[in-house]
Amino acid sequence: MITYIDIAWTYNERRTKSEVMSTNQTDKSIHSASQFKLSGNIQSSIPFGSGHINDTFKITTDSSDANLYLLQRINHHIFNDIEALMSNIETVCQHLKTKIAHLGESEVLKRTMTIVKTKNDKTYYQDEQGAFWRVFYLIPDTRSYDILETPEQAFSGGMAFGQFQKQLSDLDPKALVEILPNFHNVEFRLSNLRKAIEQDPENRVAEVQDLLDYIFAREEKMMRILNMGRAGELPLRITHNDTKFNNVLLDAQDQVQCVIDLDTVMPGFVAYDFGDAIRTIINSAAEDESDLSKITLNIPLFQAFTNGYLSEAKDFLTDAEVESLGYAIHLLPYMQAVRFLTDYIEGDGYYKIAYPDHNLVRTRSQLKLVDELEQHQGILQDILSGSLMSEG
């Protein structure tokens, strides 16, 4: 029997009850799922996962081969070129599958995402209201974590993202469209924040002045990776760009099963993936924890993730890339705070929110994390260097 446990679900239930779980939404999702080549008749559709951008449903059918499917309504206000988005994902999935083809069909299906096509053989379906939908196989007997529990999980996650970068290292970056340009460009993110401040459509700037001061005081320091990139010191590689820990599925023994959420796979710097993963791994609390005293660093998890990542990545990282990893630890939580705050000031149009000042809470929480990281900079850098030596 298939048991699919998803820790992230708990959070999603809280969020989705009001937003997604209406009968109307369920009917719509079932109607859309029925456009795809599913085996068996659809039995149910339930909201799933904890993503802030797309709406995700778990689809169950009565098929004897016990297939489960992941249906997603793609947020086309953010991903406005759906054709290119799906073509990127198809290219990446194909490439990853060829890398592990020797393991046999059933392993390939468990270790990589598989797009299920529509009855017209397309990678997505556009409904009568103009919304875009897609379906993947849902990989059974796996779990994801919003907050990690053990160093073994962190090590596995590190290996997973290191392996992901390695397996894509021979895919020509030109094969992929830069689906969200400037996604991790901190200068671009700060310039969006400045525009938001100037317009201040909700009159929210005055109440967040302390946060803005904190952010702008760190602006120059946070430009280091971008400057290294501009100086030609960092190679552009294909990276995941959304390496939150809940985007890796682990099996029942906490071994790597599959890296998921391929929407933002595009050319980038490896450090961004490292830093974004650390953002969620090292934090003892959720990214939207409102009690700032709970936001502390779990340093053993940092060490374990770093060891796992470097066990895969050490062979291909250049010295400059290694240097950039240390900067990324601070940059990614900082940039996330800039993005949450920009959305708050603009009136919450980008990220899904569960309550009115959710984006403000997220911002404070991420900045508290930046603070903690700054206070422990020396020890984190020592661990990174030590891990490199022992792995090297």
- Residues binding ligand GN1 (CB under 6 A): 51-53, 78, 242, 244, 261, 263-264, 287, 336
What are the phi and psi torsion angles at 364 (to 5°)? -60, -40
Stretch that binds Mg ion, among 120-128, 190-198, 239-247, 307-315 (CB under 5 A): 239-247
Q: Give me the least distance between CB of 53 and ligand GN1, in Å please.
A: 4
7 burial class (0-12, 13-18, 19+ CB within 10 angstroms)? middle
Identity of the residue, 54 or 303, whose beta carbon is nearer to Mg ion in the bound complex: 54
Identity of the residue, 91 or 243, whose beta carbon is nearer to Mg ion in the bound complex: 243
Q: Give me the least distance between CB of 241 and ligand GN1, in Å please.
A: 7
Alpha carbon separation from 356 to 135, 167, 345, 352, 362 (Å, rounded): 31, 41, 12, 11, 12
For the segment 367-386, give every residue that binds Mg ion (CB under 5 A): none
Q: Give me the least distance between CB of 75 and ligand GN1, in Å please.
A: 8
Both tokens of 380, joined, read: 């984190």
Does residue 312 interact with Mg ion by CB under 5 A? no
Q: Evaluate whether 280 touches 246 at the Cβ level (below 8 Å).
A: yes
Identity of the residue, 75 or 142, whose beta carbon is nearer to ligand GN1 in the bound complex: 75
Q: Evaluate whether 365 touches 290 at the Cβ level (below 8 Å).
A: yes
CA 345 and chain centroid, separation: 23
Q: Three-state SS for 66? A: coil
Look-up: residue for tokens 């098929």?
63
Identity of the residue, 51 or 158, whose beta carbon is nearer to ligand GN1 in the bound complex: 51
Identity of the residue, 53 or 249, whose beta carbon is nearer to ligand GN1 in the bound complex: 53
Identity of the residue, 6 or 261, whose beta carbon is nearer to Mg ion in the bound complex: 261
Does residue 348 interact with Mg ion by CB under 5 A? no
**# chain residues binding Mg ion, by CB under 5 A:** 2
Stretch that binds Mg ion, among 97-105, 180-188, 242-250, 288-296 (CB under 5 A): 242-250
Q: Give me the least distance between CB of 52 and ligand GN1, in Å please.
A: 4
Question: HSE-up of 191 (CA within 13 Å, CB side)?
Answer: 8
Among 242, 254, 273, 288, binds Mg ion (CB under 5 A): 242
Q: Three-state SS for 346? A: helix
Residue 229 Rama label (left phi>0; alpha psi -120 to 50; beta): alpha
Q: Give me the least distance between CB of 287 and ligand GN1, in Å please.
A: 6
293 burial class (0-12, 13-18, 19+ CB within 10 angstroms)? exposed
Q: Give me the least distance between CB of 104 and Mg ion, in Å please.
A: 29
The Cα–Cα gap between 296 and 37 comes to 46
Q: Give me the least distance between CB of 51 and ligand GN1, in Å please.
A: 4
Identity of the residue, 45 or 246, whose beta carbon is nearer to ligand GN1 in the bound complex: 246
Q: Evaluate whether 245 touches 277 at the Cβ level (below 8 Å).
A: yes
Identity of the residue, 124 or 224, whose beta carbon is nearer to Mg ion in the bound complex: 124
Which residues does 215 contact at the CB level (< 8 Å), separation at least 6?
190, 193, 334, 337, 338, 341, 367
Q: Give me the least distance between CB of 78 and ligand GN1, in Å please.
A: 6
Does residue 261 interact with Mg ion by CB under 5 A? yes
User: Can you give the binding site for Mg ion, defined by CB under 5 A?
Assistant: 242, 261
